[in-house]
Structure 1
């Protein structure tokens, strides 16, 4: 088996930063020590001055395959992900047709086995009548079941109380939820249209406001408490919702919460410049909400940071507000935004690793990933905090061809990414000689 030695790295792991060498043999980390001889490796990389992090595990992406591949695919978006230091992802069911059966779920695994550069798992989508499919999920293979509680279209909207009770009572896997209340959104729309003839992007955080989020997320939390369900509430956006979640170590919780990259970065003040490009659901809200989310990362009310990467074409975005689809591409630049938060003193580098690697590994009980430990898979990212990255549409790898960060200069640079011991990105270009990715497995 080939071997790689990463020397003199500032290894970030389990709340500490230590200078160490890391030797990779085959797919796994063999040794983490202070001084490993360069003679013990086929390839030696001097990482002096750079951070070595466990690769980000993104528990919420939309890679658009099957059926929506004009926006993105498992192949294209996983390549953008590894260029951004994301080495594993969990992909959502709202494709075409929606992933609501075990058969459809397994077809996505088959595509990823051939085309994905990052490790993968896929959610089954809950409907009001597919409980038997949910009960067939394999806790060791399938990451979870996605429930759209009150804000979706088509079959992936679950509102009926009996259906929700059954899912929360019977699911053999983690339940993840999109929480916005349809009735509250409708009431907000009616009230807004009494004051104006049509809505604009500036109305988005008013339409999908804190009350709409809280009404739904509090319902999900109540159900999880009633049935002692394993619940993970996705993309929290409001200060109001934080009261639903307890502080403390993730190991002790059966109800956890997540914040997403764009809700930690943008606010309603950015709509004037970026417009529909940052239209997403739940909506990007106010500076006070953004600040509260960052504080909640510090006090461990929010346990995980993810992307909710959701590409659409520029043509699809350049229509009137109400017709524009919700979502934006993020995987290539997610870790860079967090490193900017570190540079500005809002987060520490150990917190970034905890929320993007350690905690996803704990919450999903992922086997042998999320840490820089001997015997673990070598999913690693080398970061230079002193080399800037200038973002353009042209140097973004998303199939949709654009990024909301165009023109911005991040303070750090992704220097290299490894997936299962194989270098897949060298800081400038994709370098994978084969598809190194694997389906994640879970110890539960």
Structure 2
């Protein structure tokens, strides 16, 4: 009996090396990886000579703004943008409206996303001071602690959760609110140049230290969007998970002069020295993310601009270009953009090109040169901080769940085909 697809003559990127083989896909899974003469017959055989095959990227940190802020993004447009960017699985954050901090809101959001999403997804649950009982009712991909917002949850709330829950992932935003409050007294929050003077490297490091001093029991700490090499090193040495977000890898304070409030993000962009330093500690990083946090152009141009920028569609393309520039290898991309998140969050069928796993694959034309243009992207916010960047290496096609979802830029998938993934750990 014929399988659905055979991808012939692939160069398969895995964390442990490049494997030259063919891939048989059937019923949504990778059925066989072997030399071409050992492949079963296929309904569709595609020659992948000269192409790189990556595992579908997993973005463990996005804000699809649904429900409550759907003028900026929703699960349909956010997941579509992700799919065109080679991201086949996302983990969505809880700071929606209403906040995803009760079991009822968690289930509502899950149902909403199942109807809209092009890609597979899971959801964080928002930690709040005093909502331990609600936290116990659900089994989310992780619990998010906005420790930079003491009105939501403080260090005492993290400590209480650690003593009440077992074998969970605690995703923490590490910026110390007291230090930021003191810095705010000296600087105007409305001044775009002062944002980095409020959310400083010191605020991040002191928060990292405070969090690491809390006894976690059997729970694991996942530090979101660390922005300095020293923070990454401290988290790694403590044996916890360090996430880097693409804004801090590809942008620094030097870009703020050009981008203005469009460069405003939390944590703030740091120095060019810090940005370059992050590339040097990638071996200590557990996973990469985008912190895709879209806002409308009108909001960014307002007197009180919100923090955040879109990035889920440019995530993998920027990393592909970085391989071509010699900053890292295909094996690094396979680990940092896929396998790392799979291992951390218990996404057992995702993250690596291996027999029996979901056939989420991204086909790369590594020689094609192209330019990032917001008009060609799919986020509802209609802008990108990377406008005009020329990249080498382009996504040719995307398989999600064993089906060809993007074929040479043409959309074949439909909203609602993505599935909710429960963690297995």
Q: What range is the shorter-chain TM-score in?
A: over 0.9
Q: Kindly state the Cα deviation for residue 368 of structure 1 after the two structures are TM-superposed.
A: 1.4
| Counterpart contact for 1:71–1:399, Cα < 8 Å | yes
Report how many residues are paired: 423
Q: Kindly state the Cα deviation for residue 427 of structure 1 after the two structures are TM-superposed.
A: 3.1
Aligned counterparts, 1:144-163, within 5 A: 144-151=142-149, 157-159=152-154, 161=156, 163=157
Match of 1:234 among 194, 214, 224: 224
Question: Is 1:304 the equivalent of 2:302?
Answer: no
C-alpha distance in 2, partners of 1:222/1:376? 38
Question: Is 1:244 the equivalent of 2:225?
Answer: no
Aligned counterparts, 1:181-192, within 5 A: 181-192=176-187
Aligned counterparts, 1:33-48, within 5 A: 33-36=34-37, 40-48=41-49
Question: Is 1:275 the equivalent of 2:275?
Answer: no
Aligned counterparts, 1:37-436, within 5 A: 40-138=41-139, 142-151=140-149, 157-159=152-154, 161=156, 163-172=157-166, 173-192=168-187, 200-223=191-214, 225=215, 227-246=217-236, 255-298=240-283, 300=284, 302-320=285-303, 323-433=304-414, 435-436=416-417
Structure 2 vs 1, CA of residues 145 and 414 (structure 1 numbering), >3 Å: closer, same or farther? same
Q: Kindly state the Cα deviation for residue 38 of structure 1 after the two structures are TM-superposed.
A: 7.7
C-alpha distance in 2, partners of 1:47/1:55? 16
Alignment partner of 2:376: what SS? coil
Q: Kindly state the Cα deviation for residue 365 of structure 1 after the two structures are TM-superposed.
A: 1.6
Q: Kindly state the Cα deviation for residue 229 of structure 1 after the two structures are TM-superposed.
A: 2.7
Structure 2 vs 1, CA of residues 226 and 20 (structure 1 numbering), >3 Å: closer, same or farther? closer
| Counterpart contact for 1:120–1:439, Cα < 8 Å | yes
| Counterpart contact for 2:32–2:39, Cα < 8 Å | no
Q: Kindly state the Cα deviation for residue 429 of structure 1 after the two structures are TM-superposed.
A: 2.5
TM-score, normalising length: structure 2: 0.95
Alignment partner of 2:179: what SS? helix
| Counterpart contact for 1:235–1:258, Cα < 8 Å | yes
Q: Kindly state the Cα deviation for residue 36 of structure 1 after the two structures are TM-superposed.
A: 4.7
C-alpha distance in 1, partners of 2:245/2:53? 22
- The equivalent residue for 1:250 is none
Q: Kindly state the Cα deviation for residue 107 of structure 1 after the two structures are TM-superposed.
A: 1.2
Alignment partner of 1:53: what SS? strand
| Greater share of strand | 2
C-alpha distance in 2, partners of 1:199/1:67? 25
* Long gaps (5+) in structure 1: 248-252
Alignment partner of 2:112: what SS? helix
Alignment partner of 1:43: what SS? strand
- The equivalent residue for 1:9 is 10
TM-score, normalising length: structure 1: 0.91
Q: Kindly state the Cα deviation for residue 315 of structure 1 after the two structures are TM-superposed.
A: 0.6
Q: Kindly state the Cα deviation for residue 228 of structure 1 after the two structures are TM-superposed.
A: 4.6
C-alpha distance in 1, partners of 2:5/2:136? 43
C-alpha distance in 2, partners of 1:274/1:14? 35
* Long gaps (5+) in structure 2: none
| Counterpart contact for 2:346–2:424, Cα < 8 Å | yes
C-alpha distance in 2, partners of 1:235/1:317? 21
| Counterpart contact for 1:239–1:292, Cα < 8 Å | yes
| Counterpart contact for 1:12–1:51, Cα < 8 Å | yes
Q: Kindly state the Cα deviation for residue 442 of structure 1 after the two structures are TM-superposed.
A: 2.5
Runs in 1 of length 4+ with deviation above 6 angstroms?
none
C-alpha distance in 2, partners of 1:2/1:267? 48
- The equivalent residue for 1:22 is 23
Quick check: 56-65 or 7-16, which moved more? 7-16
